């Protein structure tokens, strides 16, 4: 076992987790990944090693396995947990709510219980801008009201509240609730990136799969939104900026006094679907054929972050622009047209 106490990264083989492993290693931390591979491939960790020269610690397992967690925490004595593990497909959560409550809420509860028993009380949780529901105004500040429109979003709301209750009950807990806006892009090496199973739900992987010829055309969900060009506006954040946000949050968590903090991780910039298509065509040199169709159920017009609190508290801000996002997403897609398979 290494002399350095690792950072336990649940869901660390996944999209955001693998990029965060790179950022952790580059900052001198030792990630220890626990993942059941239900939505990822362990090849991502071999790629992390190719990028950094360091292979993250690896345990294949489920966060709902209390006995496994007890053993892992006792053996490795992590300094903190970065908790990415969970299910994240909004549409699927409407069809299979119990799977979402079991994995996300149940899994987190079991993880927190194991941490409590092991005397480990430092955790960074992956929350989401989805907890803001349909915001009354943009940009969105952390003190805006929260709501949920689907079981996935409700699972995030419930976990946020559980963490709040826990920290109140035992103020020794140090808890970061990070609300991600729309994570996109890939590591600039093209070695790791987003590898969705089946047809992508999200805009960016859909665009790159159209450009690479895996899908015929993009469907733009609605051209009549109350936005400048009529298409939906979001805050797309480069996944490496997001990863570095976790490192900043970890440093703050371990250095500052005990407590809980909640921060938006976004760029503060709104980008429409058509602006994204144009940026992608410009940087990739490939056409993205599209047609405007009906709005998608549950979508909102516009959502972007006020990122001021993260800047003030964590001394972190997103620095990669839209062209970098598109160029990096395209490099990953071209080098790995079938993902990790």
Residue 234 binding ligand NAD, by CB under 6 A: no
Q: Pick the closer one to ligand NAD by CB: 40 or 264.
A: 40
Residue 40 binding ligand NAD, by CB under 6 A: yes
Q: Pick the closer one to ligand WQD by CB: 29 or 132.
A: 132
Q: CB of 284: closest distance to ligand WQD in angstroms?
A: 17
> Are the CB atoms for 9 and 84 separated by under 8 Å?
yes
Residue 15 binding ligand NAD, by CB under 6 A: yes
Size of the site for ligand WQD (CB under 6 A): 18
Residue 62 binding ligand NAD, by CB under 6 A: yes
Report residue 41 as tokens.
């491939």
Residue 128 binding ligand WQD, by CB under 6 A: yes
Q: Is 15 a catalytic residue?
A: no
Stretch that binds ligand WQD, among 9-17, 189-197, 212-220, 239-247 (CB under 6 A): 212-220
Query: Among 132, 152, 206, 252, which one carries the catalytic annotation?
Result: 152
Residue 17 binding ligand WQD, by CB under 6 A: no
Q: CB of 102: closest distance to ligand NAD in angstroms?
A: 8
Site string for ligand WQD, 300-339 (x = CB under 6 A): ----------------------------------------
Residue 201 binding ligand WQD, by CB under 6 A: yes
Q: CB of 114: closest distance to ligand NAD in angstroms?
A: 12
**Which residues sit at the interface with ligand WQD, rule CB under 6 A?**
88, 90, 128, 130, 182, 201-203, 206, 218-221, 232, 234, 273, 296, 299
Active site residues: 152
């Amino acid at each position: 076992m290494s002399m350095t106490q690792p950072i336990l990264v649940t869901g660390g083989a996944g999209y955001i987790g693998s990029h965060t492993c790179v950022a952790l290693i580059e900052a001198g931390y030792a990630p220890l990944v626990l993942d059941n591979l239900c939505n990822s491939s362990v090849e991502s960790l071999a790629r992390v090693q190719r990028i950094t020269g360091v292979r993250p610690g690896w345990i294949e397992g489920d966060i709902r396995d209390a006995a496994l967690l007890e053993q892992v925490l006792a053996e490795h004595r992590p300094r903190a947990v970065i908790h990415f593990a969970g299910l994240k497909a909004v549409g699927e959560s409407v069809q299979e709510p119990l799977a979402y409550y079991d994995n996300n809420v149940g899994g987190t509860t079991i993880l927190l219980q194991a941490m409590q028993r092991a005397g480990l009380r430092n955790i960074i949780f992956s929350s989401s801008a989805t907890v803001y529901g349909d915001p009354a105004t943009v940009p969105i500040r952390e003190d805006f009201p929260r709501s949920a429109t689907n079981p996935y979003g409700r699972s995030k709301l419930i976990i946020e509240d559980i963490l709040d209750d826990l920290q109140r009950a035992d103020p020794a807990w140090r808890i970061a609730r990070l609300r991600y806006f729309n994570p996109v892009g890939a590591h600039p090496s093209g070695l790791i990136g987003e590898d969705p199973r089946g047809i992508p739900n999200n805009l960016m992987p859909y665009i790159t799969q159209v450009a690479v010829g895996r899908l015929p055309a993009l469907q733009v969900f609605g051209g009549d939104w109350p936005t400048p060009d009529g298409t939906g506006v979001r805050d797309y954040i480069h996944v490496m900026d997001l990863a570095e946000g976790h490192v900043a949050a970890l440093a703050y968590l371990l250095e500052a006094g005990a407590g809980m903090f909640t921060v938006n991780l976004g760029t503060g910039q709104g980008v429409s679907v058509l602006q994204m298509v144009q940026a992608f065509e410009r940087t990739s040199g490939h056409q993205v054929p599209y047609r405007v169709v009906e709005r998608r159920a549950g979508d909102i017009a516009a959502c972007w972050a006020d990122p001021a609190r993260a800047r003030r508290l964590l001394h972190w801000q997103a620095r990669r622009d839209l062209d970098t996002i598109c160029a990096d997403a395209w490099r990953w897609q071209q080098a790995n047209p079938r993902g990790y398979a």
